[in-house]
Amino acid sequence: MMKDSDEVSKKIIFVPQGRSRVNLSGICVNMFLPWLVFTAIYWVMIFQIHYVNPVFAWSVVFSGLGHATIMAVAGYIRTQREAAPSWYNFAAFAFFLATGLAAFFGNMVFWTYMERYYDYMTLNTLSSVNPEKYTGGMLMDSGRVYFHDGAQLDIKKSMGFKNGDMYCVVPISNGCHKMPNYDLWAVGKNCCTNPGQFTCGDASNFRIRSALRSMELDDNPFYRLAVQQAEAAYGITATHPVFFHWTQDPLHEIMSLRREGIKYFLMGTFSHFITNIISVLFVTFGFAKMRHHGRGDWA
């Protein structure tokens, strides 16, 4: 009798008692779909679509929020019917998070790096520019400028304007003789301590004859004030001043903006992928515990 009882007990041990229905499709979808949403919106917000058509870029963001809302409604209906959370609930949260993070950080990367990169790529490149013959109005559409051999920074006419930061300017001249008009200026912040001293960019390299247009529009009014001080101090005229960063390789500076944008895009997509997978695993174990305690299926 005891033997028969043991045999029955063994059989019961190996017979599944209330098998859990694991929703593999729900797990797979939530592992990859929120990441794909993040990647798509992040790409749109960082790269050229945002620059060329910002309305479309933000429409993609709102579309992502719309899909998240649909998931949230489906999750709410499922919860009301079965009184247990489902993968729809997690998907709604994951979609909202993916869309919000992609929009926020993508917009940040765009304005920090890619917007300036695309601005530079739309501007012209000029060679053999003589500062004595070119006025500021002639260089309004220039991004990269390569000056002729006689061009140099007239360090003796440098000036700084203090407004929290020190806004430094120095005219780009044609040799040491006085010119009728000084419209081309090399600029930088916190790199001049007194008149006659300028260490911004690659100014210490006297062989350099190239510059990159200054795109910091918020700084330009303070550079203009520094130029006005230089006009008064040195008796020179700057009719239409244009500002540049003195640099050995302007193209390298431009491409470094693109490299930074791509770097942050790859870092963001990889980080989101890992974080999302970890979140799905935690939720999977959470659903398993709920099923073990009789609180619903893995829906």
Residues 37-94 have pLDDT tens digits of 999 999 999 999 999 999 999 999 999 999 889 888 877 777 777 655 567 788 888 9
Stretch (H or E) spanning 144: strand 142-147
The reply to whether 285 falls in a domain is yes
Alpha-carbon distance of 126 to 213, in angstroms, equals 11
* Co-location of 110 and 44 in the same domain: yes
40 closest CA partner among 292, 260, 269, 286: 269
- Give the 3-state secondary structure of 66-133: HHHHHHHHHHHHHHHHHCCCCHHHHHHHHHHHHHHHHHHHHHHHHHHHHHHHHHHHHCEEEEEECCCC
* Co-location of 172 and 75 in the same domain: no
* Co-location of 52 and 104 in the same domain: yes
CB 48 within 8 A of CB 260: no
The reply to whether 15 falls in a domain is no
Alpha-carbon distance of 109 to 119, in angstroms, equals 15
Residue with tokens 């300017």: 169
CB 55 within 8 A of CB 44: no
Token pair belonging to 146: 């390569």
The amino acid at residue 167 is: Y
Q: Which domain holds residue 234?
A: 125-248
Alpha-carbon distance of 155 to 170, in angstroms, equals 6
Mean pLDDT across 186-205: 87
Mean pLDDT across 3-13: 46
Work out how many domains the chain is built from and give that number: 2
pLDDT in tens, 162-178: 998 999 999 999 877 78
The reply to whether 1 falls in a domain is no
* Co-location of 115 and 130 in the same domain: no
What pLDDT score does 21 carry? 54
* Co-location of 244 and 148 in the same domain: yes
Distances from the Cα of 37 to the Cα of 34, 160, 297, angstroms = 5, 48, 27
Alpha-carbon distance of 183 to 69, in angstroms, equals 55
Q: What is the CA radius of gyration of the chain?
A: 31
* Co-location of 220 and 131 in the same domain: yes
The residue count for the chain:
299
The reply to whether 27 falls in a domain is yes
* Co-location of 140 and 232 in the same domain: yes
Q: What is the longest distance spanned by two Cα atoms in the chain? A: 118
Round the average pLDDT of the chain to a whole number and report it. 86
282 — phi, psi (to 5°)? Answer: -60, -45
* Co-location of 82 and 196 in the same domain: no
Token pair belonging to 182: 């000084």
pLDDT in tens, 91-142: 888 999 999 999 999 999 999 999 999 999 999 999 999 998 999 999 999 9
The rounded percent of the chain whose pLDDT value lies above 70 is 86
What pLDDT score does 196 carry? 76
CB 294 within 8 A of CB 109: no
The residues that bridge with 185 in the sheet, in sequence order, are: 171, 243
What pLDDT score does 13 carry? 34
The reply to whether 6 falls in a domain is no
* Co-location of 149 and 184 in the same domain: yes
pLDDT in tens, 203-236: 888 888 999 999 988 999 999 999 999 999 999 9
What pLDDT score does 296 carry? 46
* Co-location of 130 and 237 in the same domain: yes
Q: Is the pLDDT confidence value at 29 over 60?
A: yes
The reply to whether 29 falls in a domain is yes
Alpha-carbon distance of 274 to 197, in angstroms, equals 50
What pLDDT score does 269 carry? 97
* Co-location of 79 and 226 in the same domain: no
214, 229, 248 - which closes a domain? 248
CB count within 10 Å of CB 169 equals 29
The reply to whether 13 falls in a domain is no
The reply to whether 102 falls in a domain is yes
* Co-location of 107 and 38 in the same domain: yes
CB 208 within 8 A of CB 145: no
